[in-house]
Amino acid sequence: MTIITEERRLAILIALLAASVFMTYYFNTVVMLGTVFSHFFYIPIILTALWWKKRSIPVALFLGGLVIASSFLYNRPDILTLNDYARVMTFVVIAFVVASLSEQLKGREREVVEQRDLVQRYLDVAGVLFVVINADHTIRLVNRHGCELLGYREEELIGKNWFEIVVPEASRKARQEIFDAAIAGGASLSGRRENPVVTRSGEELILAWQDTVLAGDGDRPAAMIGSGVDITDRIRAEEALREAHGEANLYLDIMAHDINNANAVALGYSDLLAGELEGERQREMVRKLRGSIDRSIDIIQNVSTIRRLRSAEPSTRPVDLDAVIRAEIAHHPDARIVYEGEPVRVTADDLLPEVFTNLIGNSIKFGEPGVEVRVRVEEGDGVVEVTVEDTGPGVPDAVKAGLFTRFRRGTSARSGKGLGLYITRMLVERYGGRIRVEDRIPGYPERGAAFRFTLPRCGRPWEPRPATARS
């Protein structure tokens, strides 16, 4: 749009006023048509009102005065009627009305410009790329961060084809088809997507992209508003982390495999050595050696369990709790274990046996000679509560709060490294339950501990499992 300068406007007004004076003279002395020429006066009045608002009123008074003065100057006062005075008043009214409307329009225009500038400032300070792409693929608007991210100046992007200048060639056609389908259907693509873009230097960046369709006249889709956050560094860091994680797991697998092989060999030799030795002292040393090997095996097992817990989301399914408990009891044929339960299904996974391995194993391992372990299962409202209690030395009150914390030891000289109970808590919470430790007899912590935890009961009806030998 061509902008008329102030000097040019003034020159046009002077020319129109001069033409008005000439027409006054010409129509009164040559054509002899009276005030017909005065219709021309509306042009300078309206233009002055549009350009300078209420400054048009003096112009209207000047031209009105010219109409009245022409009758006296050319000796025809007989034709000066009420209509002439009304015409003068019309000039003034039109000047005032047009000036008022022009002032209102200018005010609205200023508001629109201020809002536009404010929005532009918001877009410029935003830490994301923001772009408006027309239906013909050309760029209508791009913010400052977008220009900096892509390496272009704003004027180098406005009006250019977005897909040809920004989108990588490998994905250009597919992205154009998606864009055209969204514009044609008037429906934005839901969710965030990872879209690559190419900078001016040829570097490919990955943006977390979102867009929405912008409606034009008649609510017809006219453009697409898109925003993108540069996540290239995050994607690369995640890839590097996955590679490092895979490499670390490889090393752990190798170490676990080799250590377990070494432990198996050491156990075999310790059994042979125990058969060869005769003195009680020597046999006690072999038992301690075997105990150390067993602890090494437990550590490897705990590390493997934690890896499985951390590596993937739980895939729960109905699990026969009765079978899990009986299988664990069968591993301790010499222990005094009382089981009070009945067939019930819970929602868990293949790691559920680890819970009972740790709780029953700890009760036997750290209890006094002749310790008795009792396992009780009770069904509640949507949950199953399991209690594993023993008659061992118990857990002091000062230790209870942090007992399930990683590497928290008990107070007994025979206490372990604390990983077992930490894993137990992780597993129970993984299934949606809670675990706590209490006194077997309330108020007497030294007379045994009671570990209580809940598991979500499976909503499916009970189906008896095939009959098998139970321990």
What is the per-residue pLDDT across 231-240, written as a single tens digit (0 to 9) for each?
998 888 888 8
Least confident range from 200-204, 297-301, 383-387: namely 297-301
Residue with tokens 């199953």: 384
355 with 334, same domain: the answer is yes
Buried/exposed code over 366-391 (b: 16+ C-beta within 10 A; e: otherwise): bbeeebebbbebeeeeebbbbbbbbb
Give the pLDDT confidence score for residue 466 in this predicted structure: 47
The whole-number average pLDDT for the span 424-437 is: 91
For 11, the token pair is 């020159």
CA dist., res. 147 & res. 161, Å (int): 15
End-to-end CA distance of the chain: give it in Å, rounded.
94
- The CATH number of residue 138's host domain is 3.30.450.20
262 with 190, same domain: the answer is no
Residue span of the structural domain in which 341 resides = 313-456
20 with 85, same domain: the answer is yes
* pLDDT at position 288 over 90: no
- E strand or H helix at 131, and its extent? strand 129-134
68 with 166, same domain: the answer is no
Query: Which band of pLDDT confidence, cut at 50, 70 and 90, is reported for residue 450?
Result: very high
Q: Would residue 323 count as lying in a domain? A: yes
DSSP state, 27?
Answer: I
**Of the residues 77, 92, 121, which one is the last residue of a structural domain?**
121
297 with 427, same domain: the answer is no
156 with 88, same domain: the answer is no
Q: Is pLDDT larger for residue 153 or for residue 56? A: 153
Residue type, 199: T
Q: Would residue 248 count as lying in a domain? A: yes
Mean pLDDT of the chain: 80
- The CATH number of residue 396's host domain is 3.30.565.10
CA dist., res. 228 & res. 206, Å (int): 9
**Of the residues 230, 265, 286, which one is the last residue of a structural domain?**
230
Total domain count for the chain? 4
**Of the residues 230, 254, 284, which one is the last residue of a structural domain?**
230
Least confident range from 52-66, 255-269, 293-307, 338-352: namely 293-307
* pLDDT at position 447 over 50: yes
pLDDT tens figures, 114-141: 666 666 665 565 568 888 899 999 999 8
The whole-number average pLDDT for the span 186-200 is: 82
117 with 31, same domain: the answer is yes
Least confident range from 164-168, 224-228, 291-295: namely 291-295
Provide the whole-model pTM: 0.47
* pLDDT at position 56 over 60: yes
Give the pLDDT confidence score for residue 124 in this predicted structure: 62
Q: Would residue 467 count as lying in a domain? A: no
Characterise 219 by phi-psi region: left (phi > 0), alpha (psi -120 to 50), beta (else).
left
295 with 330, same domain: the answer is no
Summary count for the chain: helices (H), strands (E): 14, 12
- Which runs of consecutive H residues, i.e. helices, occur in 277-337? 280-311, 321-330
Strand ordering across the sheet containing 129-134 = 139-142, 129-134, 221-230, 204-215, 193-198
For 122, the token pair is 């918001």
84 with 143, same domain: the answer is no
Q: Would residue 260 count as lying in a domain? A: yes
Residue 106 vs residues 12, 97, 101, 115, 258: alpha-carbon distances, Å: 21, 14, 8, 14, 84
The whole-number average pLDDT for the span 258-276 is: 75
φ, ψ dihedrals at 280, nearest 5°: -65, -35
Give the pLDDT confidence score for residue 32 in this predicted structure: 65
265 with 328, same domain: the answer is no
Residue with tokens 């598991």: 455
SS3 of residue 116 by DSSP: helix
pLDDT tens figures, 156-166: 999 999 999 99
